A and B are shown apart, each in its own frame.
Chain A
Amino acid sequence: MSDLKTLTFAFMDPPFESERTVTFFRLLDAALERGASVRVFAYEGAVALAFARQAPHGNAVHGRDAAEEDHPLTREWIRALQEKAAAKELGFEWINCGLCVDERGVNDVIDGCGRGGPPDLWRYASDAFNTLTIGTR
C-alpha cells in the first residue's frame, strides 16, 4: 500500500562533483517542507554523502581559516534534514548500498544512515507515493 505522505529518492552522485547533488538535497528539503516523509537509497558515489569523516578545511585563496570558511559538508546537510524531519514529526530514512560503501571504503557513516541493498530500494519504492531516481551523468 502506497503511503501518500512518503517520497522515495534514489541518488547516485557523490559530494563535491555535480550540481545534481545540491539539487537533490534541495528536493529533500522541499519534500519535508511540504509535509512528506523522505526515504533515500544512496547508490554508487552517493554513499559518500553520509561519510562521517568528511572534514571542513580553510581556504587560503579566500583568506579564511577552517572556522571562517565553514565549508559545506553533505554529512551536515543530512544531519540538518534529519533534524528538520524530526521537528516536523516526519520520517527521514537513509540507506546506503552496502557493496558501494565497501568498494569506496566509506563505511564510517553518521548516525541515522544505514546499510542495505537493492531490496531496500524496492521496499522503499513499493511503500512510497512515488519515487525519483537521479542517475549520475
Chain B
Amino acid sequence: MKVLQVIDQAFRTTVEEQDDTILWLTQSMRGAGGDLQVLLSGHGVHYAVLNQRQPPLVLGTWKQSQPAELVRDLTNLTESGVPVYAVREDLEERGLAGLPLQAGVELVSRAGLVELYEQVDQIWQW
C-alpha cells in the first residue's frame, strides 16, 4: 500500500511538539516499513523553502532547548526514500517561488496533482 500524506497547514504546534506532527508521523511509519509520499500544499509549502531551525521559545526564565528542526526532518524523509512534493502555484501565491527549494523537494503543478494522486492507494489529508 502506498499513501500520500498531504500537509497543507504549516507550523501547527511546531513550538510545543518540536516538530511538525505529520512529518514526524510519516518518518515514524517509514521506519515501520510504510511506503509513503509527502505533498506540501497551501501554507505547507513554506516547509519546502525553509533554511533555518525554528527559533527557541523564551518565556521569562524558561527557554526552549530543542526547537523544531524542520529542515532536518524533511531531509531525513527524502534521504530515507520518501518523495516530497510542493505545489508550484501555492509557492507562487505566497511569494516563495524565487527561493531555493530544500534538496530533494520536487515541484508539482496543480494540474499534476491528478497524476500524483493516481499513483497512490490512499490519500491522507491532514
Contact = CB atoms under 8 A, between A and B. Distances in A.
A135 interface: yes
B21 A44 contact: yes
Interface stretch (B24-32, B98-106, B107-115): B24-32
B50 to A, nearest CB: 20
B122 A121 contact: no
B126 A119 contact: no
Contacts, number: 41
A119 B29 contact: yes
A122 B21 CA distance: 15
Contacts of A133: 124-126
Contacts of B33: 122
Interface string A43-77: 11000000000000000000000000000000000
A131 interface: yes
Interface of B: 1, 3, 9, 12-13, 21-22, 25, 28-29, 31-34, 122, 124-126
28 contacts: A2-B1, A10-B124, A12-B21, A12-B126, A43-B21, A43-B25, A44-B21, A117-B28, A118-B29, A118-B32, A119-B28, A119-B29, A119-B31, A121-B25, A121-B29, A122-B32, A122-B33, A122-B34, A123-B32, A125-B3, A126-B1, A131-B3, A131-B122, A133-B124, A133-B125, A135-B9, A135-B126, A136-B12
Listed from nearest, the 10 A-B pairs whose CB atoms lie closest are A119-B32, A135-B126, A118-B28, A133-B124, A122-B29, A122-B34, A118-B29, A118-B25, A126-B1, A122-B32
